[in-house]
A and B are shown apart, each in its own frame.
Chain A
């Protein structure tokens, strides 16, 4: 890349950032990020744990949005890969004595390795078939985590791995905040560049995107593996946050919770993922006193969101997207499909 095209790239990023900062959600996220830095001064104990947890969920949900919302690949394997990252980070640190911070990033790479065969086999499938195949993968990973006692600790889970920062919750919070902020920023840079444009083109019409000369398979592969890597890193952070990693972490029910957060916020943007996580996870914390009935609320949220807010709370500002929808529909109708 020569210096001229790099200059254009930097200019475009600067322009996009400036434009996005002027929107309400952009402002809210910027303010939220600044507020996040002072949270430990006000919150300790349980509320700090809630804040740490929310940050980790933001990384999972935005990376799911990255795959499902931008590319239209509705993956159900995200929670399972989140669990793979958790197991990898815990086992690497405990069994091989790898420093924890390094183990967390290695966990991301291991998760990427797990997601690659999935990504390849998903390339030629669409819509509901993607959902089915990823459910099969997720269930295989889940049952292996239950069965493979020697490595995963079986149904009761894996514990006794070293703590990060000697168990200091405030340091852990800042570490999680910085990792999550960086990785969300990387996703943002991806989405405002050519990569994000092609991703959305693939979602609207893969054939059209391909005809325009894009190697759509390479984009889908890269998008799926990158999003899954982030899920793995989030899982690694989760393992050090709750100090145990067990099969329920990667159950289908967790996946539905991640999906609910993404869908309520709006799956077609990263800000939707952030907003959805904060609103839904916050609501669930407020509802903690009602206990098991909260799971009922998850279900109701999903139904209400899909019936009445298909574009999530953030709404679809992507006017171009909806126009494209109409054009694609018109063409499909002409062709009688």
Chain B
């Protein structure tokens, strides 16, 4: 029999992890929703953010600076990716597939060039705080809690940006119907590029924040990316709200499953969930709640 404490502990761990996962997943789903790009380099960009964060913290010990720099670098990387890699593919009959292949290539380039420069060595990063609270035998890792709240804050800001600004209106319009949006005088290439930058900056932020938990190495983005990928598929590609719900619930399912099975077993379970959702309703959870 599983004790209540263990269950509650795993629920809390799952909730915290879900927030971080959502941060990575929301950017991934955003760029699909707006520009029909499945960015397979998203995990690679997460890794770049983690490196920038690790170096900044090692040099300055300032988390604010690390977050700012990490997001700035990955924003520029995202805009560059859209301008030089994705834009030339637009207009092809199989654009979505061409974009998958191009970003897969970028993922390989990012990961293996970092491996060449910094080797596969794992770099550890100091957490924001080492403090731990114990409430009725339940351990609360304050570092993870702070990361959770920063993630939720960032996602909230994204919601506000999309909902209340003129840029957000253009983004929503482009997701709905790109041709009409163009006719309305929206600069589509610029909208795509900035959206791509925002999407990758969120991945970069996730990389900076998770550096202390995963430590930093060239393939650090692979596993979180796979998890975010599952989250996005279940949440419904392009649905930011569905993704948020899916991230938190899947992270909790995973954490509870880890009581009984290994990390591999949990991945099998999650991928099976994803396959089931894709087969039954390719639109995912987002398909139900948005309609």
Which residues on A are within 8 Å of B, measured CB to CB? 72, 74, 121, 125, 127-129, 131-133, 135-137, 139-140, 143-144, 146-147, 256, 259-260, 263, 292-293, 295-296, 298-303, 306-307, 310, 325, 328-329, 336
Contact = CB atoms under 8 A, between A and B. Distances in A.
Given A121-B279, A128-B36, 9 more contacts: A128-B32, A128-B96, A132-B229, A133-B279, A137-B275, A295-B111, A296-B112, A302-B104, A306-B89
Nearest to B272: A140
Interface in B241-291: 262, 264-265, 267-268, 271-272, 274-275, 278-279, 282
A274 B283 CA distance: 37
29 contacts: A74-B97, A125-B278, A128-B36, A129-B278, A129-B282, A131-B100, A132-B229, A132-B278, A133-B279, A136-B271, A136-B272, A136-B278, A144-B268, A256-B108, A263-B101, A292-B116, A295-B112, A295-B115, A296-B109, A299-B108, A299-B110, A300-B105, A301-B105, A303-B102, A303-B105, A303-B106, A306-B89, A306-B102, A336-B179
A65 to B, nearest CB: 14
B108 A298 contact: yes
Contacts of B105: 260, 298-303, 306
Instruction: State the main secondary structure of chain A at its contact with B.
Output: helix
B197 to A, nearest CB: 19
Interface string B92-103: 111011101110
Instruction: State the main secondary structure of chain B at its contact with A.
Output: helix
Contacts, number: 116
Contact of A303 (B109, B112, B268): B109
Interface string B69-105: 0000000000000000100110011101110111011
Contacts of A307: 85, 88-89, 102
B275 A310 contact: no
A72 B98 CA distance: 12
B192 interface: no
Contacts of A131: 38, 97, 100
A98 B102 CA distance: 43
B233 interface: yes
Nearest to A255: B104
B85 A303 contact: yes
B229 A135 contact: yes
B217 interface: no
Interface of B: 32, 36, 38, 85, 88-89, 92-94, 96-98, 100-102, 104-113, 115-116, 179, 226, 229-230, 233, 262, 264-265, 267-268, 271-272, 274-275, 278-279, 282
Nearest to B263: A143
A329 B91 CA distance: 10
Contacts of B113: 296
Nearest to A120: B279
Nearest to B96: A128
Given A135-B229, A300-B109, A310 B278 contact: no
A293 B102 contact: no
A139 B267 CA distance: 8
Nearest to B275: A136
A72 B274 CA distance: 22
Given A296-B109, A303-B102, A329 B93 contact: yes
A296 B275 contact: no
Given A263-B101, A296-B116, A307-B88, A136 B268 contact: no
Nearest to B261: A147
